[in-house]
Structure 1
Amino acid sequence: MAAKAFQPRHQSVSRGIAFRLVSVGCYSVMAALLKLASEHGVVAGEMLFYRAIFALPVVLVWALRSGGVRALTTRRPWAHLGRCALGIAAILCSFQALIMLPLATATTVGFTAPIFATVLSVLFLGERAGNHHWLAVALGLVGVAIIMLPGGPANDTAPLPGVAVALLAALGTASVVTVVRQLRHSEHVAAIVFWFFASSALVGGILLLYVGKQHDLQTLAILAGAGFAAGIMQITLTESLHATQVSILAPLDYLQIVGALALGWLVFSELPGQSAILGGCLIISSGIYLIWREYRPQTIARRNLEANTV
């Protein structure tokens, strides 16, 4: 059964935007709660487990409602295994970046993923990238360099190891996007989402044997909230894709940075320095431009033509 979950079912721009805004809000809440949990001594391996175990019931109910048990079956188990391995590595790096960096900086550097996705699509999917794409990639990398600039105003709040881990997370996310673009043609999106959360719970449970510690009820409540927010985030993200085009929705994801700035200031008293702001603006500009080039009608028409001639 070919996956149809990424094809809009009921076109509604307002409905799609509403779902995406909820998804963005849930991401910001999840990230803030996980960072708060880190201040209670929770490490990345524990975050992986608790996020998955508390999100899994929500995701399972949604998956069964979306397509029943058949939607969870797969014809490509090895491809799922590779996707899950990449995703778990990426999310562990992402959680470690949250621990090491201010919330807004970790979120901003994470948005270098479209830059890496462009490079990986050229290398592994055979897609073409013009000079405009490479200019945007260069612009985003300059933004990262500014954030990492030693001695700059952000030097005290953006340690180089933390930025490096955040970049690894973005590279892993881009790799996952590349794999999912292949999987979605033959797999139901419910299977892709469910098996990732299930594998995260399994790997997190194994890591818990080595890094797990006892936590008080307040910390467990924070982790439960983060997991629940993660489940709602994934559902609303997918439902937004059902409702309208990616080209309309993708730029809204950058509101995650606004959420991270607000929550970082309110909860952690974090304010980014000038270098972080300037570098972040360059990364955002690069990402939005790449999204526009990716989903403009001419690009989609060219890809459809190439697919039909293979």
Structure 2
Amino acid sequence: MTAATPSSAAPQNYLGGIALRLLAMLSLSLMFVLVKLIAETGVHVVESLFWRQAVVIPFVFAWAVSHGGVASLKTQRIGAHARRAMMGLAGMCCNFGGMIFLPMAEATTINLSVPIFAVIFAAVLLGERTGVQRWSAVIVGFIGVLVVLDPSTIFAGGFSGDHGIGTLIALSGAIMTALITIAVRDLGRTENSATIVFWFSLLSMVPLGIALPFFITPHDSYEWLLLLGLGVSGAVVQMSLTGALRLAPVAVVIPMDYSALLWSIACGWFFFGTFPAETTWIGAPLIIASGLFIAWREHRLHIERTKDITA
């Protein structure tokens, strides 16, 4: 998910920002329902990724043009965008894979650990100062992740079978997404959100386009409808995330991300008849509490840095 500060020129509407972020989480859950349904038809994940990005590009382009014009898409950092695109493609592939192999609620819970890994990478890669409070939150979050992963299964036989593979893939997706937040934070110094999203979508089409002929298969109308829905829901997610950050501060909208767990539980039950494992119910509150504290702490630090600058 692309993080950015709200535009100073955009009127602030906290309720509107919260509503858009909730819409993004609902759309994300529905997108992952489509990912699972598409996988059940036998469509390869590479093709799913291709059509997901292909349909998103015109929507993102229209959004960018209406919020700054074509000139807003110009960049002097194409190399940084290319690196972010490759990382984003790998992360999206892992997130899709985790959803395919795991029940939705479990995959979503593992993905909610992204802020925990982001704190670690920010400290290691960016040298950001991290106090005892945030490290404590990271430890609590890690305990939650371990509970969801179910240590008894690990010690009994390691990660084996579809569930074990799916767990490793989903965890890799969370780690990759955390690394992407670091790359996006760097890009955010010079680029706006729409530019970052546009170049990610466009540049990721290069490797996907090269790989597509090796994986594409004929489709019936049902499969094409699923693939179209995948792209449209992806576009709604991207535009809702960007719109939410234009209307309200990050600290206000980020807590809404945890509604994705509720949507994933509902969608998993309604579409696939699955429920979270017992360990998910225990670990999820720890992960959510950790993430909310990290978000609150980031907000407080931002306020303090702003006071220091203006003092």
Q: TM-score, normalised by structure 1?
A: 0.91
Report how far residue 159 of structure 1 moved: 2.2
Whole-angstrom CA distance in 2 between matches of 1:86 and 1:306: 34
- Cα pair distance change 1:160/1:140, threshold 3 Å: farther
Whole-angstrom CA distance in 2 between matches of 1:84 and 1:5: 23
Whole-angstrom CA distance in 2 between matches of 1:271 and 1:57: 36
Partner residue, 1:175: 179
- Cα pair distance change 1:95/1:38, threshold 3 Å: same
2:141 maps to 1:146: no
Residue pair 2:64, 2:195 contacting (<8 A) in 1 also = yes
Matches within 5 A, 1:244-259: 244-259=248-263
Whole-angstrom CA distance in 2 between matches of 1:43 and 1:150: 31
Residue pair 2:6, 2:248 contacting (<8 A) in 1 also = no
Whole-angstrom CA distance in 1 between matches of 2:309 and 2:122: 15
2:243 maps to 1:236: no
Q: SS state of the match for residue 30, structure 1?
A: helix
Partner residue, 2:156: none
Report how far residue 158 of structure 1 moved: 8.1
Paired positions, count: 303
Partner residue, 1:303: 305
Partner residue, 1:224: 228
Q: SS state of the match for residue 276, structure 2?
A: coil
Whole-angstrom CA distance in 2 between matches of 1:42 and 1:227: 15
2:132 maps to 1:131: yes
The 10-residue stretch of structure 1 (22-31 or 141-150) with the greater mean CA deviation from structure 2: 141-150
Q: Structure 1: which amino acid aligns with 2:238?
A: Q
Report how far residue 11 of structure 1 moved: 1.0
Whole-angstrom CA distance in 1 between matches of 2:190 and 2:126: 16
Whole-angstrom CA distance in 2 between matches of 1:34 and 1:63: 26
Matches within 5 A, 1:32-43: 32-43=33-44
Whole-angstrom CA distance in 1 between matches of 2:192 and 2:250: 18
Q: Structure 1: which amino acid aligns with 2:218?
A: Q
Deviations 1:107-143 (A, max 9, x none): 1101111011101111122211111111111111111
Partner residue, 1:26: 27
Whole-angstrom CA distance in 1 between matches of 2:9 and 2:257: 19
Q: Structure 1: which amino acid aligns with 2:29?
A: S
Q: SS state of the match for residue 41, structure 1?
A: coil
Q: SS state of the match for residue 186, structure 1?
A: coil
- Cα pair distance change 1:94/1:52, threshold 3 Å: same
Whole-angstrom CA distance in 2 between matches of 1:5 and 1:202: 30
Whole-angstrom CA distance in 2 between matches of 1:84 and 1:244: 26
Report how far residue 157 of structure 1 moved: 10
Report how far residue 208 of structure 1 moved: 1.5
- Cα pair distance change 1:212/1:80, threshold 3 Å: same
Q: TM-score, normalised by structure 2?
A: 0.91
**Residue 206 (structure 1) aligned to one of 206, 210, 214:** 210
Whole-angstrom CA distance in 1 between matches of 2:191 and 2:66: 16
Residue pair 1:8, 1:241 contacting (<8 A) in 2 also = no
Residue pair 1:5, 1:189 contacting (<8 A) in 2 also = no
Whole-angstrom CA distance in 1 between matches of 2:7 and 2:163: 38
Whole-angstrom CA distance in 2 between matches of 1:140 and 1:212: 40
Whole-angstrom CA distance in 2 between matches of 1:204 and 1:276: 34
Partner residue, 2:271: 267
Residue pair 1:136, 1:289 contacting (<8 A) in 2 also = yes
Whole-angstrom CA distance in 2 between matches of 1:232 and 1:204: 21
Partner residue, 2:107: 106
Whole-angstrom CA distance in 2 between matches of 1:158 and 1:106: 13
Q: Structure 1: which amino acid aligns with 2:43?
A: V
The 10-residue stretch of structure 1 (182-191 or 101-110) with the greater mean CA deviation from structure 2: 182-191
- Cα pair distance change 1:265/1:95, threshold 3 Å: same
Q: Structure 2: which amino acid aligns with 1:54?
A: V
Report how far residue 306 of structure 1 moved: 7.3
> Equivalent pairs: percent with the same residue?
36
Report how far residue 150 of structure 1 moved: 5.1
- Cα pair distance change 1:11/1:148, threshold 3 Å: same
Residue pair 1:157, 1:272 contacting (<8 A) in 2 also = no
Q: Structure 1: which amino acid aligns with 2:21?
A: R
**Residue 167 (structure 2) aligned to one of 163, 182, 185:** 163
Q: Which runs of 5 or more residues in structure 1 are unaligned? A: none
Residue pair 2:56, 2:235 contacting (<8 A) in 1 also = yes
Whole-angstrom CA distance in 2 between matches of 1:119 and 1:208: 35
